[in-house]
Structure 1
Amino acid sequence: MARSAPDALLLIAPGCTHCPSVLQELSALVKEGKLGRLEVVNIVEHPEVAQQVGTRSVPWTRIGPFELEGNQSQGELERWTGHAANDTGVADYFSHLLETQRPHRVTEMVHAEPQQLDSLLALLESEELPMAARIGIGVVMEELQGEPILLHSLPTLLRLSESQHASLRADAAHYLGLCGTNAARPRLQELLDDEHPDVREIAADSLQEID
């Protein structure tokens, strides 16, 4: 069920090339009823707001839970507004963050809501996933190594380890090792007999990691 229109925050600064166009597009979404409220802050006058959200660049936009850096097209702003209104798009947002080299933001979101690990790992099953995002998933998982939060990913990783794609089985084997739990040991031992040498090697490394 659709929620009420989300609110938006836009940070701008004098001389910013793209700020006027983003402001215009967001204002149009307010007029159309797709955004409930738009707050615009000049960070030269209120630098504390930029510090609070952790950015030094403008335009910077937050629509619902989604934080967007830099220039955004009308289509992109409408897309994220729709996701925010309907509680969708978390996986797309993770991909966006990883492609723009912000894995730390993904880690923060997963810490806040551990169940979102499933949305992150589900990206691995997309054949269209950019390499930058795939690498970023590895960065996030390694940042979480040894934390109890990774246990939330165990059922998903066990399922991914059954994939017909060797690269996905290899990723799953690596991440099972990062979980550091004996519950992953039986599947990793099975992967020692995998048909692909990379999977066998990673499974062996992961078993050593658990030990």
Structure 2
Amino acid sequence: MATDPHRVAVLTGDLVDSTSAGSSQTDLGIARIQSFAATTSTWPDNGAHRFTRFRGDGWQFLLPCASLALRALIGVHAALRRVEGSPLSRVSIGIGSIEPVAGSGLSAASGTALIASGQALDEIEKSRLFTIAGDGVTPLHRAVIDLVEEHVQRWTAEQAEATLWFLSPDNPTQKSIAETLQISTQAVHARLKGAGAHALRRAVEAWEAEESRHD
């Protein structure tokens, strides 16, 4: 699918303490992000994710539908956090345009979304995980990102796994999540409650409703 030069989101990141984690855990962490990125291609109103790995522990992928950026940001974190001992990743959302590119990656792409995402990641404070920059980004966007970061860092691996499923755009029920994870519905309820997943879902839905007016 060709990407039109309209308002998109690019997520750029690098793994935290990848040197200490070692090459094997770094490769596994990148693979988990790439696998999650691939699922975004199936999300309604989205398209090809165009994943690229760079500088060993760096990664980047495209969200043709910019309004899905917050959902994807949380999903990347959950995909890593669900595995005990997995390195986490800094994540920068860049909002803007992108020129049409061939192939499945972004190495030859250009556009304001790519520039904003890369620059924001370069400038992020070492103590932070998430940031956002680009066209139409306001202090409110940054405040939501700050609150989400504070929230998700408290997750256990089990809470991250349940929330990853819960925030799928098809809004699965707790019963279906329980069947997928092969645990009780009560256990799913407890994990989602501990993760604050319902509040996160409301935040994601409000973000998308507002942002979809600009896509």
Range of TM-score over shorter length = under 0.3
More strand by share: 2
TM norm structure 1: 0.25
State the structure with bigger RCO (CA 8 A, min sep 6), 1 or 2.
2
